Amino acid sequence: MSINLLDFDAKGLTGFCAEIGEKPFRARQLLRWIHRAGEADFDAMSDLAKGLREKLSAAAVIEPPKVISDHTAPDGTRKWLLSVGAGNGIETVYIPEKSRGTLCISSQVGCALACAFCSTGRQGFNRNLTVAEIIGQLWWANKALTETFTSEAGRERPVTNIVMMGMGEPLTNFENVVTSLDLMLDDNAYGLSRRRVTVSTSGIIPAMDRLRERCPVALAVSLHAPNDALRDQLVPINRKYPIRELLAACERYLQSAPRDFITFEYVMLDGVNDSMAQAHELVQLVRDIPCKFNLIPFNPFPDSGFRRSSANAVSRFRDVLMEAGLVTTVRKTRGDDIAAACGQLAGKVLDKTRRVHRSIAEAAG
């Protein structure tokens, strides 16, 4: 069985090159061809010796997840449904803005944390993604977007920012996510700044501490409630890692973080967590943590049991936080008409991938 070179960071590629009798500098060349150039054909790697290209063709492949569907919303948001085999699908979303292009990457098929307001959690958990399946989303997006991308503000690539905010809890797939982060940061691969790569977590405290030691990038924490009683209901992992312990982990993380603040994400749920009293409680909760808030209008999905907070409620909540000196933004809802908005991913992924695979089987049979 061929080895997928997308599974390797620099260290892994160096080890692979040694196994096939090649020197370490070949790993750097391969990194540049695979990730900088987006090349999957070994014969096109012109500065590699013919003998090495033959070795690579015999032993390895460069194989990202296969694209099942590709949709672009009127606002330019683009969503890919990618197959990762056995009827499993993941979703990747590109959000273009004037000065940057952000790619939202998945880390798991489904999610085990079952947050009450998230459609991905309703799908359940199937498995962790491999490094090739995680970094393959960035590899594919750069390749696909470059075909239609016009340089803006001196950008060389369409993807300038990464957020690990797609399907899954990144920190419960720690090793594969960190290896993927290493590739994102590697100057021979994607060369992104730590400040431009964000990992979002619901609060897996031991893994937050490990990330601080191994690969500190920007951190976003899904908070969604100002107290344990409510967060226990909305984010069940809170029962294991309650808010005070989570905030202590955030303080530790800031010692190594590339940014001097933590971003707290807060989905606005009508009549659940959007009252003025809760806003004031939130201010007191985080008063000792350098942070900013990202208020996220809830994106409805069938049978969710929740409603989106009104625009007035969101504005009043924001004003309380800002008057207390907390930097607060309200996330603009992007891609909701193609189910690519926050919390909407994978609502029908399993059904769609099974339908596609069934169609392929019927056509072949």
Residues 81 and 37 in one domain: no
CATH number of the domain at 17, please.
1.10.150.530
DSSP state of 319: H
Taking only the tens place, the pLDDT of each residue in 133-148 is: 999 999 999 999 987 6
Q: pLDDT value at position 122?
A: 79
Grade residue 156 by pLDDT with cuts at 50, 70 and 90.
low
Res 214 pLDDT > 50 = yes
The lowest-confidence range among 71-85, 270-284, 338-352 is: 338-352
Identify the active-site residue in 91, 250, 265, 291: 91
Taking only the tens place, the pLDDT of each residue in 226-267 is: 999 999 999 999 999 999 999 999 999 999 999 999 999 999
Is 107:128 a contact under the CB 8 Å cutoff? yes
Taking only the tens place, the pLDDT of each residue in 71-115 is: 999 988 999 999 999 889 999 999 998 889 999 999 999 999 989
Residues 40 and 125 in one domain: no
Res 364 pLDDT > 60 = no
Does a structural domain hold residue 155?
Answer: yes
Grade residue 25 by pLDDT with cuts at 50, 70 and 90.
very high
250 catalytic, yes or no?
A: no
Does a structural domain hold residue 121?
Answer: yes
**118 known ligand binder:** yes
Domain end marker among 61, 80, 96:
61
The tally of domains found in the chain comes to 2
The lowest-confidence range among 285-299, 308-322, 331-345 is: 331-345
What gap in Å lies between CA 68 and CA 352, rounded to an integer?
Answer: 9
Does a structural domain hold residue 362?
Answer: no
**115 known ligand binder:** yes
The lowest-confidence range among 187-196, 200-209, 338-347 is: 338-347
Residues 160 and 48 in one domain: no
Res 352 pLDDT > 80 = no
CATH number of the domain at 211, please.
3.20.20.70
Residues 37 and 81 in one domain: no
Parallel, antiparallel, or unpaired for β 125-128 and 108-110? Answer: antiparallel
Does a structural domain hold residue 257?
Answer: yes
Q: Retrieve residue 43's tokens.
A: 């014969």
Residues 241 and 289 in one domain: yes
Question: Cβ of 214: how many Cβ atoms within 10 Å?
Answer: 14
**299 known ligand binder:** yes
Residues 112 and 47 in one domain: no
Percent of the chain with pLDDT over 90: 79
Is 29:47 a contact under the CB 8 Å cutoff? yes
Q: What's the average model confidence in pLDDT over 168-180?
A: 98
| Longest distance between any two alpha carbons in the chain, whole Å | 70
**35 known ligand binder:** no
Residues 54 and 108 in one domain: no
Q: pLDDT value at position 343?
A: 43
Does a structural domain hold residue 338?
Answer: yes
Grade residue 336 by pLDDT with cuts at 50, 70 and 90.
low
Residues 56 and 28 in one domain: yes
Does a structural domain hold residue 364?
Answer: no
Taking only the tens place, the pLDDT of each residue in 312-333 is: 999 999 999 999 999 999 987 6
> What residue type is assigned to position 338 of the chain?
I
Res 307 pLDDT > 50 = yes
Q: In terms of residue numbers, what domain contains 36? A: 3-61
**The tokens 């691969």 sit on which residue?**
189
156 catalytic, yes or no?
A: no
Residues 175 and 195 in one domain: yes
Residues 10 and 135 in one domain: no
Domain end marker among 32, 61, 90:
61
Residues 269 and 188 in one domain: yes
Percent of the chain with pLDDT over 70: 88
Q: pLDDT value at position 115?
A: 93
Identify the active-site residue in 104, 215, 250, 342: 342
Sheet holding 66-72, edge to edge: 66-72, 78-83, 89-96, 101-104, 161-164, 197-201, 218-222, 262-268, 291-297, 327-330
What gap in Å lies between CA 324 and CA 318, rounded to an integer?
Answer: 10
Q: Retrieve residue 311's tokens.
A: 């625009």
Residues 117 and 245 in one domain: yes
Grade residue 334 by pLDDT with cuts at 50, 70 and 90.
low
Does a structural domain hold residue 82?
Answer: yes
pLDDT, averaged across the chain: 89
**223 known ligand binder:** yes
Q: pLDDT value at position 149?
A: 56
Helices assigned H by DSSP within the chain: 10-19, 25-31, 50-59, 119-123, 131-146, 174-185, 205-214, 228-234, 243-254, 276-285, 311-323, 349-364
Q: pLDDT value at position 301?
A: 86
- CA atoms 166, 171, 12, 184: torsion sign: positive
